[in-house]
Amino acid sequence: MSVTAKPVPTQRVDPAQRVDSPVPVVNDSPVTLVKSVGPALRVDVVGPTAAILGEEATFKVHVLNQGESDATGVTVRVGIPDVARVVASEAGTGDARVQTDGGPTQVVWSVERLPAQAASGMTLRLIPTGNRPIELSVDWSTQPVVATARIEVKQALLEMTLSGPREMVYGDTKVFSIVLSNPGTGDAKDVAVNVSLGPTTSDTMTVGTIPAGTSKNFDFEVTARQTGTMQIAAIATGAGSLKKEAAHPVLVQRAELAVETAGPEMEFAGSVARYGVRVANQGNAAARNVNVLVRMPQGVRYLQGEGNVRPEAAGMVWQLGDLAPGTEREFRFDCELAVDGEMQFQVAARGDGGLESTDELTTRVEAVADLKLTVNDPKGPIPVGQDVLYEISVFNRGTKAATQVNVVAQFSEGIEPVATDGMPGEIQTGQVVFQPIARINPKETIKLSVKAKALADGNHVFRAAVQCSDPDTRLVAEDTTRFYGSGLMRRPDSPALASPSDRNQDAPRVGEKPAAPGAGIER
């Protein structure tokens, strides 16, 4: 078998060939994946730089969002040392509360949302309780700004379909197709396909890159060189351990011609013999353009045959055409066997793909004399008493001379012979015995005639008999003539007069073997 790859010249990636799967648009160049911008807060504490022990002092805490995005979950914590006591805390926005929890005192100011470029404030009143500096500690926090970077993961996939005929005829070449598609999100690179028809026959075709969401297809040819089931296997591979397999079984069928010849084993020279040729397709595939060649030996001439026959110098050709599996055709033809000898016919049936079957047949042809007797009686009805002429023809249609041929002419009662011509003959009651004919050569005709006269009306029978010993031949021919008398015809339903065999026992009878000259006719 042979595998020949023929890539498709143009591998389109238009929508007609795109794979129906979502393919994200991905840029392989480095780009900024996340750009996170948060709020910018500034916290100011405004108040006196000195306070009198035991007297209330007021402080202002201001928070300003100088950024371009809102601040959420803003918490400002002001730590109060143990040398001061909180008298009050009032928040312009949000909620301010004093927390001790067994530890240092804190004023916690919570603002749920502070828009960009907005500000808010809190009033804090304290009374110094010790003769030490008051150190106010301030810290703040906001809810973290969360940003997500989405990184697409690309995956190349391979799908493969292998299509083509499911049946082939031995010797034929058919085209098969492979379609490789990539339904994945990444390009399939370094793709190649290996096509095999068994362990010893394979071919590898380089495909290259198949972009995501597209397909490529190509054709390859397979020539069937074995019968039975042929398994076509294809394996596609690509970078990144990509692999896909496909198989396509094909039933390979083959025609098988068988020819048989039938005909006579023996014939005589000059005869026409009929022969038959039977051509059968014993395989499981159609036999294409079947011709049957029949070669004939010298001395045999083709005459006619059935079907689409073309005569040739050495015989003939029967143009059969296609022959379906499990069927047969018969052809008969006629030949003239002109000469004697061993005639060998050779027959060969041939078809496309080197199909051939032969047979032969031999016919033994012998030369022999073959006599044919013909009687020509006068056209009736004829008046009684009128002379009528009966003609006898003996033709040797064989290929050998006939010798010592005896001819007898006989009449039924009511009509008698009166004269002969062509050969001397003895006129007797109801019959004429001609002298034996010494020799009748091949294709020679001897003509004899008898003149007779009817004595009574009715249907009178005339019969001629021929006997020959070489070859051993007995021939009889008979005709009936209608006679009428006195101007009246016998009714058609009236019984006919006696036939020659009904005459008296002393007269020779029609059908009896003619005797040799002078010996009379045997009873």
By mean pLDDT, which of 77-86, 151-160, 496-505 is the weakest? 496-505
What pLDDT is stored for residue 121 in this prediction?
92
Q: Which of 225, 253, 281 is the last residue of a domain?
A: 253
Of 520, 514, 416, nearest in space to 474 by CA: 514
Residue 161 lies inside a defined structural domain of this protein: yes
Give the tens place of pLDDT for each residue, 383-398. 999 999 999 999 998 8
Query: What is the mean pLDDT of the segment spanning 20-35?
Result: 64
What digits encode the pLDDT tens for the residues 38-92? 888 999 999 999 999 989 999 999 999 998 888 999 999 999 998 999 999 999 8
Alpha-carbon distance of 107 to 109, in angstroms, equals 6
Which of residues 366, 390, 412 is at a domain's end?
366
Q: For residue 190, is it within any domain? A: yes
Q: Rounded CA gap, 400 and 397, in Å?
A: 9
pLDDT score for 291: 92
Average pLDDT over residues 396-424: 92
Residue finishing a domain among 253, 281, 299:
253
Q: Tell me, yes or no, whether 209 lies in a domain.
A: yes
**pLDDT band at 20; cut points 50, 70, 90:** low
pLDDT for the residue 1: 38
Q: What is the mean pLDDT of residues 171-190?
A: 92
Same domain flag for 303 and 354 = yes
290 is a domain residue: yes
> Do the domain assignments include residue 104?
yes
On whether both 403 and 491 belong to a single domain, the answer is yes
H or E element in which residue 167 lies: strand 167-169
CATH of the domain at 461: 2.60.40.10
Instruction: Give the position of tokens 């020659």.
Output: 500
Dig out the tokens for 280 from the structure.
Answer: 């059968």
Q: Which domain holds residue 303?
A: 257-366
Write out pLDDT tens, residues 351-404. Answer: 988 889 999 999 999 888 889 999 999 988 999 999 999 999 999 988 888 999
pTM above threshold 0.75:
no
Instruction: Yes or no: say if 292 and 259 are a contact pair by the CB < 8 Å rule.
Output: yes
Asked if residue 469 and residue 484 are part of one domain, the reply reads yes
Dihedral of CA atoms 312, 313, 314, 315 in degrees, nearest 10, equals: 40
Contact at 8 Å (CB) between 232 and 195? yes
Shared domain check, 296 and 340: yes
Answer yes or no: is 13 within a domain.
Answer: yes
Q: What does the block give as tokens for 522?
A: 């045997």
* Cis bond upstream, residue 249 (ω within 30): no
Name the average pLDDT for the chain: 85
Task: For residues 450 and 473, state if they share a domain.
Answer: yes
Same domain, 404 and 486: yes
Mean pLDDT in residue range 282-291: 91
pLDDT at 431 > cutoff 90: yes
Nearest Cα to Cα of residue 349 among 292, 298, 418:
292
Give domain status of residue 484, yes or no.
yes
How far out from the chain centre does Cα 292 lie? 24
Q: Domain count of the chain?
A: 4
Q: Same domain for 162 and 225?
A: yes
Note whether residue 510 is domain-resident: no
12 and 76 within one domain: no
Q: What residues contact residue 235 under an 8 Å CB cut-off, 6+ apart?
A: 193, 194, 196, 243, 244, 245
Do 328 and 395 fall into the same domain?
Answer: no
Q: Are residues 390 and 468 in the same domain?
A: yes
Q: What percent of the chain has pLDDT over 70?
A: 87
**Residues whose CB is less than 8 angstroms from the CB of residue 102 and which lie 6 or more positions away in sequence, other chains included:** none
CATH number, domain containing residue 108? 2.60.40.1170
Mean pLDDT of 146-165: 90
Verify that 485 and 387 share a domain, yes or no.
Answer: yes
Residue 176, beta-bridge partner list = 220
**Segment among 229-233, 388-392, 512-516 with least mean pLDDT:** 512-516
pLDDT of amino acid 27: 57
CB 366 within 8 A of CB 268: yes
Rg of the chain on CA atoms, in Å: 63
Average pLDDT for 246-267:
92
Phi-psi group of 413: left, alpha or beta (phi > 0 → left; psi -120 to 50 → alpha; rest → beta):
beta
The verdict on 382 and 490 lying in the same domain is yes
